[in-house]
Amino acid sequence: MNKGEGRLPRASGVLLHPTSLPGPHGSGDFGPAAYHFVDWLVTAGQRLWQILPLGGIGPGNSPYMSSSAFAGNVLLIDLAELQQQGWLDESDLAPVDGFMDHHLNFAAVVPFRMGCLARAAARFAEASDAANNEAFAVFCEQNANWLEDYALFMSLADAHAWQDWCSWGEPLARRKPAALRNARKKHAERIVFWKFCQWCFFRQWRNLKHYANQRGVEIVGDAPIFIAYQSAEVWARQDLFELDATGRPTVVAGVPPDLFSATGQHWGNPLYRWKAHADENYAWWVERIRRTFELVDIVRIDHFRGFAAYWEILASETTAINGRWMPGPGKSLFDAITDALGPVKVIAEDLGIITADVEALRRDCAFPGMRIYQFAFGSGNDNIYLSHNHDHDAVVYTGTHDNDTTLGWWSQANDGERHHVLEYLASDGGEIHWDLIRAACASVADTAIHPLQDVLGLGSEARMNFPGKAQGYWEWRFSWSQVHDWHAKRLSALCNLFQR
């Protein structure tokens, strides 16, 4: 990629994962509230909607530990649309105990939604019309290169109570052809169920994305660098990951001690066998990015520094303290992607321990990096996150999904940080969230993204994630009663003022 190709148009957007949307079924989804949110973005002068990964959730309900690099999160399927299709009854959608307007109670939502999807799949199989049958068959054919392994993997994982796939017995774990044939016969009905769910997910999401694009709103998606060990792709392509002869990881991913954690972050994802990827000219990665761009308009690549060098931890370690930096694939991976797909709109998540080689790789690829205001203050005027040090090829945030909300951060800021913020922004601190949003809009950075929590002025109770903490996050939701006309008017005025 040549320098300059990665420039994004000057624009502003809002960060909100669909699970945080309002809705009657315990969790946000692709239903009417999502379309209403697009309309709200337009009214607010926003041209970008940034979301978190759309894949299925994993341990701790994290969307960054998906059971597939290609499949969608079936919990996002709009159940009301399935009722409109005749595959669910009104009684199926009656709320259950545990649903909350401002909190996603996964313990209640997951069994409810999965039960509804099971009933919908059964009724589809019994009495679907010819047009839907044809559309389903076409989807299965067009996505067979990942869908076949995914549907079989999910069916086997269900049958084995979600024990790690390496414990399914050697014939299945090592994918012996006879064992796979027998499994496809034995679990045929469940395999169709998982394919049906993916068809519903992709059909509904493409309709929503089309609605957004038609109104001038682009989707900023997210591609985690790593995938979960308990995933279809690790099981299907064991040669591409650092596994031993039994299929267990020998080394895993994480990051060393940093601002978020004194013991680092022990993610536990299997690491890539990069030589094997290079030997096939990164075909797996090319297909992954190609599929991601079918779902979104711009891709934020998570943990970009891991492509320059990544932190390798022995699988036996329980923290990330003891590890070592290992060389990543570097620019050869991104050259293969652009050779296959042409210029791509990518945001590099260049946070954490950023060394000269990481910055050189980002600039060589012409990917805009990220600038976070919550990291800007109290450490001197040469801090790269301060406005006067921003570049055009950057995306500026008040904070990300990994940060506290701005009000939560402000409440915990030390005296040095507070003094610097008030002096730098000429602020009295009374509306610190709007002060940072205004600074982001005024920045020379081409792109400014504002978490909805900051637009609404919410505190730490609305925090989406806390890196290194495995439980209790990814649960925040808002309600329309929290959103007032002046929120959109104020955002729109800032975008007009600063030509976003």
pLDDT for position 246 = 94
User: 28 near 21, Cβ under 8 Å?
Assistant: yes
Determine the longest span between alpha carbons in the chain, in angstroms: 71
> So which residues are the catalytic ones?
302, 349, 402
Question: Which residues does 499 contact at the CB level (< 8 Å), separation at least 6?
Answer: 10
Bridge partner residues of 347 (DSSP): 300
pLDDT for position 7 = 72
pLDDT for position 3 = 39
Instruction: For residues 87 and 81, give the distance between their C-alpha atoms in angstroms, rounded to a whole number.
Output: 9
pLDDT for position 53 = 97
The torsion angles phi and psi of 93, rounded to 5 degrees, stand at -100, 10
Instruction: For residues 370 and 447, give the distance between their C-alpha atoms in angstroms, rounded to a whole number.
Output: 9
- Give the DSSP per-residue string, 341-410: H-S--EEE---SS--HHHHHHHHHHT--EEEEGGGTSSS-TT-TTSGGG--SSEEEES--TTSPPHHHHH
10-residue averages of pLDDT along the chain (500 residues): 61 98 97 98 98 95 94 98 97 95 97 98 93 97 98 98 97 98 98 98 98 98 96 98 97 87 90 98 98 97 96 96 97 98 96 92 96 96 97 97 97 96 97 98 98 98 91 96 98 98
pLDDT for position 2 = 40
pLDDT for position 260 = 67
User: 109 near 27, Cβ under 8 Å?
Assistant: yes
461 conformational bin, left if phi > 0, alpha if psi -120 to 50, beta if neither: alpha
pLDDT for position 175 = 98
Instruction: For residues 230 and 166, give the distance between their C-alpha atoms in angstroms, rounded to a whole number.
Output: 9
